[in-house]
Amino acid sequence: DPNAPISIDPFKTVARELKFLTKNIRQLLGSGHPSLDTVAKYYTQSEGKYVRPMLVLLMSRATALTPQVARERSIYGVNKPITDPEVLTDLNPSAPQYSTLSSMSHDSAYTQEDSDILPSQRRLAEITELIHTASLLHDDVIDHSQSRRSAPSANIEFGNKMAVLAGDFLLGRASVALARLRDPEVTELLATVIANLVEGEFMQLKNTARDEKNPVWTEDTLSYYLQKTYLKSASLISKSCRAAAILGQTTPEVVEAAYSYGKNLGLAFQLVDDMLDYTVSGAELGKPAGADLELGLATAPLLFAWKDNKSLGKLVGRKFSGEGDVQTAREIVADSSGLEQTRALAQEYVDKAIEAISGFPESEAKHGLIEMCTKVMKRRK
Ligand code: FPP
Ligand code: MG
Ligand code: MG
């Protein structure tokens, strides 16, 4: 059937690039201190989903076919290959004991000229995964997590102190790699992401804008949640899509489209995540299910249920800490349309993401980006 939709596996489209990603990330995380080396690389052992790097690589490839503009370059040149000896020398070669950053070169396959993905865009993909992994290290300490990616979480394996420090180390190395891209706008974007992650996490510490004992449901309830969701999840995805387009010298319209795609997909991604916390078993998730209520968090499914069942306000106010609160809330959510409404909202965002890149020229990468939207809606983990 010539009219059948072509099915593109987004993973396959960038499989060659992803093959080198983990190896390069591990290189970026090398430390001469053996235990720091181990803790920093811990989450690179278990295969993550690589959602963010995959999006950066697909976006880079899809926007390579759009019109290019000559952007104002820094004195170093925006897309100078990262393998240049000048930028390869360590920042502080006179104090090398614990710093093994000198091996920051890309794998040789990365510098092949036939590829439409720039070395800087590949590095950006690695940086996004580094920042994401750093946030997981910190998040698992904050959430007292026991498991991540079907293995003991780093805080359990090494303790809180080392987990926090390893997260900081990842951010440090991500910052060095970012600086070496020599693009101030991209640096600013990704530095903002790090601040946004903290802002999102802070908003999450409080369920509502004002810390009330018996909060009332208003339209602000949902917008507070969505703002938090943007900061916590969509900021990294949207700004790294934007950065990929910037590194590709694309026009301002394409940069905005890339950003809009990432923002909408990122919001959908987290809405689905919050839904799965209610609907999927811990065994399938690879991390404990039903964790949000236990942590006192009111996410989209509960917020929608609350709109129709005002008795939830009291439970939200005390963060489900009362006897039987978690169970009660779970039952109210299950009997409500909260989960359906969450899915419907995620679908709206996914539709907007696809619409945002509709003007991109036809390509396998573009279809990969569209397929990512379908995958986000279908995922079970
Ligand atoms: C996972 O969410 C965590 C995040 C998306 C971001 C967490 C951000 C911080 C801890 C801020 C500080 C970190 C850095 C690196 C600046 P989740 O707990 O809802 O998901 P989970 O079920 O996977 O644990
Ligand atoms: Mg967590
Ligand atoms: Mg958390």
CA distance 216 to 314: 9
Encoded tokens for 323: 């006897």
Q: ipTM, 2 decimals?
A: 0.95
Mutate to test the pocket of ligand 1, among 135, 145, 285 (most ligand atoms within 8 A of CB): 135
Give the global pTM. Answer: 0.87
Q: Which of 4-13, 241-250, 257-266, 345-354 has the lowest mean pLDDT?
A: 4-13
Between CA 120 and CA 99 the distance in angstroms is 23
Spacing, Cα 353 to ligand 2 middle (Å) = 26
Write out pLDDT tens, residues 13-65. Answer: 788 888 889 889 999 999 989 999 999 999 998 878 899 999 999 999 999 98
Which ligand 1 atom is nearest residue 142's CA?
A: 10
Ligand 3 center to 105 CA (angstroms) = 33
Decide: 201 in ligand 1 pocket, CB within 6 A.
yes
Quick check: CB of 52 below 6 Å from ligand 1?
A: no
Residue 146 Cα to ligand 2 midpoint, Å, equals 10
Q: Which of 197, 276, 292 to mutate to test the pocket of ligand 1 (most atoms within 8 A of CB)?
A: 197
pLDDT of residue 96: 35
Q: How far apart are CA 377 and CA 362, in angstroms?
A: 23
| C-alpha distances out from residue 196 to 158, 179, 193, Å | 27, 19, 5
**DSSP string covering 284-345, please?**
HHTS-SSHHHHTT---HHHHHHHHH-TTHHHHHHTTT-STTHHHHHHHHHHTSSHHHHHHHH
Ligand nearest to the CA of 144: 2
- Centre of ligand 2 from the C-alpha of residue 58, in Å: 27
Q: How confident is the model at residue 89 (pLDDT cuts 50, 70, 90)?
A: very low
Q: Whose CA is nearest to atom 13 of ligand 1?
A: 135
